[in-house]
Amino acid sequence: MNKDHVKLAIAPIGWTNDDMPELGGENTFQQIVSEMALAGFTGSEVGSKYPRDPTVLKPMLEIRGIEICNAWFSTFFADGERAKTIDEFINHRDFLHAMGAKVIGCSEQSKSIQCTTLGVLEEKPTFTDAQWQLTAQGYNELAALAAEKGMQVCLHHHMGTAIQTAEEIDRFMAITNENVFLLFDTGHAYYSEGSQEKMLAILKKHLPRINHVHLKDVRDEVVARVRSEKLSFLDGVRKGTFTVPGDGVIDFMPVFTLLDEAGYKGWMVVEAEQDPAIANPFEYAVKARKYIREHAGL
């Protein structure tokens, strides 16, 4: 892949989990960003332990050669919470803009079960036609607000939400404006659709509108257990559903090739939430960095 076009980041969720603060609660912000840099990454997304004041955060990252590339934002348009979502989005956008980020990764969390005890593969929510329209209108509005700062919005398709499957991603992309992009997540696509082939089909179909990529691997045997025991999304995470590229079932070579051939420009972010007590975050960061160096030439 072209080193001038693609930058590598890693998400802090491997060190400390925002949805389950007890996982990695002992890992400090300074340790997290130091280990990211030591492992060879130049970018990071924003975690719960990160200072939210750019004047505090920027110098601590700059000294380590790390940039902020994105930060999760939850939207609730289908639930009818447009005004609150827009108000919070503007603050979030301004923070990311001050940090130099170009994309804002959003997840439509209306009816989401990702942080509940419900079985993630059995009890996934769906939207009515009216809820789809509210979501599309909301994201078109977010895209316009992002453009005011020269930024772009992307939707993070996510397990346990109403925009998870290939069909739901297709529908979302069809009813939103061209300036609403997709955050493509290898792990969530594979987990949802159950195969390498179907995961790659999502990537191929939406390549022109993908502006941010999460590199996440999956362990098939854990997904099988999630299915058979009707486990929740977070239970699956605790048991090791996800891991770093090269440690699970996904072959990332076609992912790198497709992105490269399409002239992808932007960040690729290693994101693999695991229990840090079981999967040492620094060790896995080094493992991921080595795999990407060997397979993507970055």
Residue 186 reports pLDDT greater than 80: yes
CA distance 195 to 173: 21
Residue 18 has pLDDT above 90, yes or no: no
| pLDDT (average), residues 203-232 | 97
The pLDDT of residue 185 is above 80: yes
pLDDT tens digits along 136-166: 999 999 999 999 999 999 999 999 999 999 9
- 19 confidence band (pLDDT: 50, 70, 90): confident
Q: Tell me: pLDDT of 24 over 80.
A: no
Average pLDDT over residues 182-204: 98
* CATH architecture classification, 6-296: Alpha-Beta Barrel (3.20)
At residue 21 the predicted structure's pLDDT band, cuts being 50, 70 and 90, is confident
pLDDT surpassing 90 at residue 16: no
Q: What is the mean pLDDT of residues 269-296?
A: 95
**Angle at 214 (CA atoms; ends 223, 34), nearest 5 degrees:** 110
Task: Say what the pLDDT of residue 294 is.
Answer: 97
Output the average pLDDT for the chain.
96
Q: Encode burial over 163-178: b for 16+ CB neighbours within 10 A, e otherwise.
A: bbbbebbebbbeebee
Phi, psi of 9 (to 5 degrees): -125, 170
Residue bearing tokens 């923070």: 95
- pLDDT tens digits for range 64-120: 999 999 999 999 999 999 999 999 999 999 999 999 999 999 999 999 999 999 999
Q: Which residue has the higher pLDDT, 62 or 273?
A: 62
Percent of the chain predicted with pLDDT > 70: 100
* Rg of the chain over all Cα atoms, to the nearest angstrom: 18
- Residue pair 180/153 in contact (Cβ under 8 Å)? The answer is yes
pLDDT band at 289 (very low <50, low <70, confident <90, very high): very high
| pLDDT at 154 (0 to 100) | 98
Query: In Å, how far are 27, 40, 157, 239, 246 from 243, measured between CA atoms?
Result: 19, 18, 18, 11, 8
Tokens in use for 166?
């290939």
- β partners of residue 105: 154
Alpha-carbon torsion (168, 174, 180, 184), positive or negative: positive
**What average pLDDT does this structure show over 237-257?**
97
Q: Are 83 and 23 in contact (CB under 8 A)?
A: no
In this prediction, residue 20 carries a pLDDT of 83
CA distance 298 to 291: 10
Assess whether pLDDT exceeds 80 at residue 245. Answer: yes
Residue 64, pLDDT score: 98
Question: Which residue type does 74 have?
Answer: S
- Locate all alpha helices (DSSP H) within 63-128, ordered by sequence: 82-98
